[in-house]
A = this chain, B = another copy of it.
């Protein structure tokens, strides 16, 4: 897992900082290593579904983001990434703060495959994701 951009940490942090949807749900980027990114989500009442658990789509959001930035950490400085698809199993209901850990399992020139795990504060395994991303070469990672 060798990043192609030596400034990958700041590039990942700046990109995450532009994700207004992460600000909306209160998610924070906590760890950025080559091919490994973690996103923390403090519990908030307004993130819940009808039974008072964290909404499965919110769990998907943080896993998708952690996995995407795990892939992005390895990409060249002048590229951007799009999520092709992801699949997530919800393993247990989530009632508190969460952390999503994304890891690259197969880096590629065009396609990168990642895995994500979401855990509760007590270590309970909440969800598992498998995701595919596509690199867009020579494409800015900013609004057009």
Contact = CB atoms under 8 A, between A and B. Distances in A.
Contacts of A125: 105-106
Contacts of A70: none
A75 interface: no
Interface residues of A, number: 57
Contacts of A80: 51
A85 B83 contact: no
Nearest to A72: B50
Contacts of A106: 89, 91-92, 125, 128
A65 interface: yes
A46 interface: yes
B82 A85 contact: no
Interface string A85-124: 1111111110000000000011000110101000000000
A88 B90 contact: no
